Amino acid sequence: MTYPKSINNLISNLKNLPGVGEKTAERMALAMIDFDKEKLGSFSDSITDVKDKIRHCLICNNLSEEDECIICKDKTRDSGILCIVDDVRSLMLFEKNNLFNGKYHILKGLISPSNGIDPEDIDIEALINRVEKEKIKELIIAVKPSLEGEATALYIAKRLEPKNITVSKIAHGVPMGADMEYLDAITLRTALFERKKIS
């Protein structure tokens, strides 16, 4: 005997979630059976809602229920400065910690010649056009610290060189509070190379 068909279906769907294997999916499905009907209805509705309502902001690629996201519509934000990230989670990290009051641009990936991902594939053109159209004065690149991230940052800086725009990237180095002995060599080398004079 296996579970009734509807439970097996639920288990397969739960297994599509990141980090959820057979056993966890089974445990989740059985827990859900004990939810009351209202809770299950709300769960199912929230998935349908996300399916029907969520799209990408036409300006910055952020997740939104409208053509323009809340951040792009916000008139109180500094519209002369853009923070460039490569996924929504990075954006949320800045937002949750109230670290930045400009606007964002989410790239559709990072340039990676070895994986055949060129600037066109991640639509850098849209960013360049936006910078011109919105008369952006400063760009802060905050993409993942990796070879691909570096390549993407360099490419964007190069493209914007002719225009009088400040392009910077967030600092890499030893994270605050880190246990030095567990640091990887690349981080340590970066920290050493980018050392700052104590004045």
Q: Report the interface residues with its own copies, using CB under 8 A.
A: 1-7, 9-10, 12-13, 16-20, 24, 26-33, 35, 37, 39-51, 53-54, 63-65, 69-71, 74, 88-89, 92, 95
Q: C-beta of 193: minimal distance to its own copies in Å?
A: 32
Q: Are 117 and 109 in contact (CB under 8 A)?
A: yes
The residue (of 42 and 129) whose beta carbon lies closer to its own copies is 42
The H-or-E segment that residue 104 falls in is strand 103-106
The residue (of 144 and 159) whose beta carbon lies closer to its own copies is 144
How far is residue 180 CA from its own chain's centroid? 28
The residue (of 9 and 166) whose beta carbon lies closer to its own copies is 9
Q: C-beta of 50: minimal distance to its own copies in Å?
A: 5
The residue (of 20 and 128) whose beta carbon lies closer to its own copies is 20
Q: C-beta of 7: minimal distance to its own copies in Å?
A: 6
Q: Are 173 and 184 in contact (CB under 8 A)?
A: no
- Distant-in-sequence, close-in-space partners of 63: CB < 8 Å, separation ≥ 6: 54, 55, 56, 57, 69, 88
Helix axes 22-33, 5-15, angle to 10 degrees: 130
φ, ψ of residue 50 in degrees (nearest 5): -60, -45
Q: C-beta of 98: minimal distance to its own copies in Å?
A: 10
Q: C-beta of 89: minimal distance to its own copies in Å?
A: 7
The residue (of 121 and 150) whose beta carbon lies closer to its own copies is 121
Helices (H), 5-87: 5-15, 22-33, 37-53, 70-73
